[in-house]
Structure 1
Amino acid sequence: MNRTTRIGSGAGFAGDRIEPAAALAEHAGLDDLVLECLAERTIALGQQRRLADPATGYDPMLRARLRRLLPVAARRGVRLVSNMGAANPPAAAEVARDLLREHGLTGRVAVLTGDDVLDRIDLSAPALEDGRPLGEHGEVVSANAYLGAEDLLPALRTGASVVLTGRVADPSLFLAPIAHRLGWDLRDPALAAAGTLTGHLLECAGQVTGGYFADPGLNDVPRPAELGFPFADVAADGPAVLGKLAGTGGTISRATVREQLLYEVTDPTGYITPDVVLDFRGVTAEPAGPDRVRVAGARGRERPDRLKVSVGYRAGHRAEAEISYAGPNAARRARLAADVVTERLRGADLRMRAEVRGVGGVDGGDGAGRAGGADGAGGAAGPVEVDGAAADCRLRIAAMAPTAETAELVCHEVEALYTNGPAGGGGVRTSVREVLGVVSALLPRDQVTPEVTVLETGDAAA
């Protein structure tokens, strides 16, 4: 078995940049490149797309990422691992196979399924966030369990050059390749904790290389426009050294690592994943050279008996509508427009907020309330003024409604301000879209059945 393995982070969310990942694959000497592209909201949206078209549901950027990365990864012998399968991993695997063929490459695509547990979720079970039964939140359209590294290992053992999944816990996407390369037994909480720590630090890509750390004058980061993504050299006994490619922008320091260490951690004594309960209290982060930080000291307890499930439900429709006012007295005209819309929608089944945004700044007024209430458009402190008069400002009204038809009322009334409101309004922009809410629940581990399927480039097209 290897004594060390190098693993890179090629994405930290669905809309992340592609070129830093390509640079890692080309120049970093990686064994594995992991692209973490899935969140609670994005998998629910994937399920929504799949309901409309069963051939979709995977990450919308899947083709673009793989088209750029597959030739580089094949040339450098880098295995790609990603949760871009989202709500439809089998369809994503077919896309990956087709792209391998398109590039004249041979290889296997392994796909992990089994996270979709919509047919097993108990709608009377309490949501972790508020204790209310899941079914009371709205029509449930998705339920995805967080699979772990143990579930992913069989896919890695197939020898696939591309491994795609649906909902797998973020650090588990990294722990599994590390464990596979180093021959770890994931029943050892110490090793599972060490790999989970590394995965947690890498899972958000550019955050740990200074992207989210940057704060001019407080936390200055060199050349952020050329931000590089991180990799980690993981030793067989668990410690890891985080780094980035020489010549790329950004920075890896004790401060950036410590900031990422606490990201999304509510209990540093017991960070629960499908693989281990991680205790951060003994973790150390020490400089190990330019843009290098060594992390060690993770401790772990036995993995939980139940898996977290992300549950998506139909939460209504959101309307957003904007109109601009310019010139002298613009702010007062914008506030009058807000009052007009609020009065016209009095009694409608809406939760509405109105705010006036000014040149060079955003009005921080509260303005939250039900349509028709005195606070429906209140709280506006006014836009930036030039020589005592507002140069330009924009009224924004946002509302939640139970139906698309009710939400459309907001857009109609804002558009009507062209000729039925204060002087000088223009530049109306409106939108209505369905909102999927997300809550969480727990499901016994033995009710989840992971399954691995392999596609060969020589297989017949589906």
Structure 2
Amino acid sequence: MSIVRIGAGAGFQGDRIEPAADLAERGELDFLVFECLAERTIALAQQARLNDPEAGFDPLLERRMRAVLPACSRNGTRIVTNMGAANPKAAAACVRRIARELGLPLKIAAVTGDDVLDRIGSHVLVETGRPASELGHRLVSANAYIGCEGIVAALEAGADVVICGRASDPALFLAPLVHSFGWAMDDWERLGRGTLVGHLLECTAQVTGGYFADPGCKFVPDLANIGFPLAEVSPDGNAVITKLPGTGGLVSRATCTEQLLYEIHDPARYLQPDVVADFSRVTLDEVGPDRVAVKGASGTPASGSFKVSVGYHDGWLGEGQISYGGANCVARGQLALELVRERMAGCRDTIAEDRGDLIGLNSVVPGAVASRSEPAEIRVRYAARCVDRLTAARVAEEVESLYLCGPAGGGGVTRTVREIFGIASTTVPRNLARIEHEITEARDEVA
């Protein structure tokens, strides 16, 4: 294969679906990749699976697959996704059912092995310096960021749709390239280049002008109709990043540079499960409208370890918000916060931490606007992480009580009480993850 066309269909769980459907229809893609997991997302998915053994995968899986499967099947586009979250097998069963309903005889693979919960106990968490086992019954999930191995195996076996759980984001894109070009898993230079392609595509619209637009500073045309990116990848791993004609947004050296540096600690040592990628000598050249040539990435051998994201119960969040407007609104908002804190003083033993903000004044950049004229309105937010649900509910109730027991003119109260999941991390030897894949065909179940 001389060129592989690979598109990004999602960059997080709540990403837009329409641009992915457009890519599936018009992109002439070999592969369409949906990256939908964050650290907290999979912890919540594991909790859902505990409550229902058939749950635990991405709640938008069905909508996304119904939107793209017909076009992908018709155009020969294969799908790779981590929407399996905590339950890849159940996700695969869901996609199989959809394909069967649509009359599409697709092979669907579930890749498992990232769940290492039963093997994580002795491993020390970076954030606490203590073994994961000390979390006891609070421990909910432990998922390793696996590499492309299982995905490649599923593609080699002929899967049209590959669904995994927690994998490294770039690995979702690297796997189709390894499969298509037959790259060796110790070809560090090409693996580094494929990782760069994945890193540039993994956040979808961030590289086509989303999260880049800044009115008056950085103009992005037709942002309402922003298109998702695709890459035209050569056998040597170098690529051109582009988007579909007629879509909004832009692909430029600037958008690609921002995405290149996104979530990168050391550009010369981007630690991934398959390779330590080196982006320090990457070049980005605009070779046409919305076309950026990407070259120069490399890599060195992988560390032999997998990062693991550990989810655990971390108490309850109680939160309340109320608005104040007009003259002296800041002073009234500050008084509201002081009253709530004073009234919650008797619960200090069951409050781990709390925070009070005046949204519109100091909630994002504390003190940054203190010297400016008073805003026309502010919104008070008080939140506390509590040991138990009862205390969290009390927090929300005290904010609501400000209607009649607080400063003048408060309104628009909202209340939230929810369980909190904390996230910690560690590393494990890669052989701790038992990576497997299982393929079934939609037509196997057609009567």
TM-score (norm 1): 0.91
Cα-to-partner distance string for 1:377-402 (whole Å, 9 max, x where unaligned): x99959975xxxx7543321111111
Deviation at 1:294, TM superposition (A): 1.0
Match of 1:437 in 2: 422
| Structure 1 range deviating more: 422-431 or 433-442 | 422-431
Cα-to-partner distance string for 1:88-139 (whole Å, 9 max, x where unaligned): 11111111011111212111111101110001113x4222345333344672
Cα-to-partner distance string for 1:425-451 (whole Å, 9 max, x where unaligned): 332210111111111111111121111
Deviation at 1:460, TM superposition (A): 4.4
Deviation at 1:200, TM superposition (A): 0.9
Cα-to-partner distance string for 1:3-23 (whole Å, 9 max, x where unaligned): 211111111111111111111
Match of 1:458 in 2: 443
User: Between Structure 1 and Structure 2, how many residues are aligned?
Assistant: 442
One-letter amino acid of the structure 2 residue matched with residue 322 of structure 1: Q
1:345-424 aligned at under 5 Å gives the runs 345-348=344-347, 349-350=350-351, 351-357=353-359, 361-364=360-363, 385=374, 391-424=376-409
Match of 2:432 in 1: 447
Unaligned runs of 5+ in 2: none
- Pick closer, same or farther for the CA change 1:409–1:381 going to 2, 3 Å: farther
Match of 2:239 in 1: 240
Q: Measure the CA separation in 1 of the matches of 2:178 and 2:116.
A: 26
Contact 1:355–1:380, Cα closer than 8 Å, also in 2: no
Match of 1:308 in 2: 307
TM-score (norm 2): 0.94
- Pick closer, same or farther for the CA change 1:393–1:218 going to 2, 3 Å: closer
Match of 1:142 in 2: 141
Contact 2:361–2:369, Cα closer than 8 Å, also in 1: no
Corresponding residue SS for 1:6: strand
1:334 and 2:319 equivalent?
A: no
Deviation at 1:191, TM superposition (A): 1.5
1:3-402 aligned at under 5 Å gives the runs 3-122=2-121, 124-136=122-134, 139-348=138-347, 349-350=350-351, 351-357=353-359, 361-364=360-363, 385=374, 391-402=376-387
One-letter amino acid of the structure 2 residue matched with residue 331 of structure 1: V
Corresponding residue SS for 2:332: helix
Unaligned runs of 5+ in 1: 368-377
Task: Tell me which of 404, 412, 425 is aligned to 1:427.
Answer: 412
Q: Measure the CA separation in 2 of the matches of 1:291 and 1:100.
A: 34
One-letter amino acid of the structure 2 residue matched with residue 200 of structure 1: H
Deviation at 1:207, TM superposition (A): 0.6
Cα-to-partner distance string for 1:21-75 (whole Å, 9 max, x where unaligned): 1111111110000011111111111111112222111011111111111111112
Q: Measure the CA separation in 2 of the matches of 1:443 and 1:393.
A: 47
One-letter amino acid of the structure 1 residue matched with residue 356 of structure 2: A
Contact 1:288–1:294, Cα closer than 8 Å, also in 2: yes
Q: Measure the CA separation in 1 of the matches of 2:378 and 2:252.
A: 41
Q: Measure the CA separation in 1 of the matches of 2:97 and 2:326.
A: 56
Q: Measure the CA separation in 2 of the matches of 1:346 and 1:296.
A: 59
